[in-house]
Amino acid sequence: MLDRSVPYAGLFMRRRAGTPIPEFPLPDGFSFAFFSDGCEKDWARIETSVLEFESEFAALLFFKENFMPYAEELNRRCLFIENAEGEKIATATAWWAHVDGRRRPWVHWVGVVPAYQGMGLGKAVMAGVTKLMVLLEGEAAIYLKTQTWSYRAIGVYKECGYLPTDEKILYKAHGNTFKKALRILKRLGRKGLYRE
């Protein structure tokens, strides 16, 4: 969940091609599932629960505008974790972004419903989406964008092979907040999250 009491700075992270993907098995009673029709409501509920959106309506609108035009891709790229009752409680998407005219593998919208945080589900969904990305895109650098408000999740990303990067092209449109982000994380006791 976002912690907005922390100063904000954006941070890009990169997993180098060939970095080993750790095994983080799902706890008993949980399973992976892919997107199917209607799951956009689950996605909106999960992402709103972690404060990424003000309302499920806003999340759903974002999803419909940014992901639904690629409906066929969603079925193989949007990953969920379900509990024993079949309720979707975590998600991550093996997507892409266009940077400097090139399409690059990009992890989007990682979220775990707060009531299920601290159970290893964040690590499991990150490892799962990374394996999925390698399967779909081959061994290539994989990126994600996060922020200091997600400082707890940054450690999870690091355990899955993603490290902060100060690649200039990534910050071109967003402003170079790499050093600011690392200073904030250091003050929060998140040492060791330095660039490659």
Tens digits of per-residue pLDDT, 151-174? 999 999 999 999 999 988 887 767
Structure tokens of 181?
Answer: 């982000």
Give φ, ψ of 160 to 5 degrees: -95, 10
Summarised one tens digit per residue, pLDDT across range 86-142 is: 999 999 999 999 888 889 999 999 999 999 999 999 999 999 999 999 999 999 999
pTM, two decimals, is 0.92
Q: In this model, does residue 73 exceed pLDDT 80?
A: yes
Q: Give the residue-averaged pLDDT of 5-10.
A: 92
What are the chain's domains?
10-187 (3.40.630.30)
Neighbours of 91 (CB within 10 A): 26
Terminal CA-to-CA distance of the chain, rounded, Å? 26
Q: Give the residue-averaged pLDDT of 3-11.
A: 92
CB 14 within 8 A of CB 141: yes
| CA angle (151 as vertex; 147, 154 as ends), nearest 5 | 85
